[in-house]
Amino acid sequence: MLLEQLLNQRIDHPRATLHFPAAWGQGRATFGGVVCAAALSQARSCLPAEDRPLRTFNVSFIAPVEAGDAELTSACLRSGATLSYTRSEIRQEGECCALIDAAFGVERDSALSVADAPRPAAADVDQVAELPYIAGVTPVFTQQFAYRFTDGAFPFTGADSASFAGWCRFRNASGPATAEAMAMLVDAWPPPLLSMLAAAAPSSSVQWSMQLLATPNAALDDWWFFAAETRQAGGGYGCCTATLWDPDGVAVARSVQLVAVFDR
């Protein structure tokens, strides 16, 4: 029900209570992608115009959003001729758990046109085995997605490099893809720096920023390509970047994430 609500409906109230089920869990917290998708869905209801696509958002994960009810509030901070800025807040038991700032902007005529990097060469999705869900090992929310790694190493395998790529899609959703859905697809993957650890260790997102590069003409159950790399890590933190391509090979989203790792 939550997936249907987030991807096919709008949260049309600037203050609302939403229930996060345990099926979207990630340790003690709820999967960050679905938390962010809920906030973005609500933020749209604050816009003065319907035709302003999401261009970018930045989320600070202040405390875990646990399974159960959470209060969502959103407001439009400013709306100009072409851009609108919103801020959303998620609270549980009086505590602020996440802040999400977003910008929505109309498409304008421009002489500038720079093509993004093409999708990396990779094995076709039909040539790669799908990863199984293993209860008690992989996060609960990963049951909602299908993954097929094409390059790099799995988390906690002591790899020499901290990057990977592969195909992904929603398992139990169909219909046109939305900006909220792309945010969930990007965040569905683990931080690539975890591949270098030889043993399991907890980690958490500190801050996550994503830019929407194009509007895909694709469905939720199509196969999307994802690639991530670690730009720097040290002192218990790491900076990771990632790109999502649609089924036609068009780059549709790029993200930067600061991750805290507790391996000592």
Helix residue ranges per DSSP H, 55-108: none
Residue 217, pLDDT above cutoff 90 = no
pLDDT (tens digit per residue) in 135-187: 888 999 999 999 999 999 999 999 998 999 999 999 988 888 989 999 999 99
Report yes or no: 131 and 92 within 8 Å, Cβ to Cβ. Answer: no
Question: What is the phi-psi region of residue 141: left when phi exceeds 0, alpha when psi lies from -120 to 50, beta otherwise?
Answer: alpha
Q: Which of 164, 184, 179 is nearest to 242 (CA)?
A: 164
Distances (CA, A) of 141 to 17, 107, 201, 255, 264: 21, 34, 18, 20, 26
The answer to whether the beta carbons of residues 184 and 37 sit under 8 Å apart is: yes
**pLDDT grade, residue 86 (50/70/90)?**
very high
**Could you tell me which CATH class the domain 1-106 is placed in?**
alpha beta
**Sequence ranges of the domains in the chain:** 1-106, 123-264
CA distance 208 to 101: 11
Which CATH number is 123-264 given?
A: 3.10.129.10
Among the residue ranges 41-55, 114-128, 141-155, the one predicted with the least confidence is: 41-55
Same fold, 1-106 and 123-264: yes
Structure tokens, 257: 């994430």
Cβ within 8 Å of residue 201, ≥6 positions away = 156, 194, 261, 262, 263
Confidence of residue 93 (pLDDT cuts 50, 70, 90): very high
Mean pLDDT of 203-216: 94
Q: Is 157 left (phi over 0), alpha (psi -120 to 50) or beta?
A: alpha
Residues 6+ apart with CB under 8 A from 156: 194, 195, 197, 198, 199, 200, 201
Among 207, 235, 210, 240, CA closest to 62:
207
Does the pLDDT value for residue 195 go beyond 60? yes
Higher pLDDT, 3 or 216: 216
Q: Encoding tokens for residue 13?
A: 């109230």
DSSP 8-state code for residue 49? -
Residue 2 pLDDT grade (very low, low, confident, very high; cuts 50, 70, 90): low
CA atoms of 263 and 201, how far apart (whole Å): 5
Per-residue confidence band for 11, with pLDDT thresholds at 50, 70 and 90: low
d(CA 147, CA 149): 6
Structure tokens that stand for 31 in this block: 């999967």
- Provide the 3-class DSSP secondary structure of residue 34: helix
Mean of the per-residue pLDDT values for the chain? 91
217 versus 243: the higher-pLDDT residue is 243
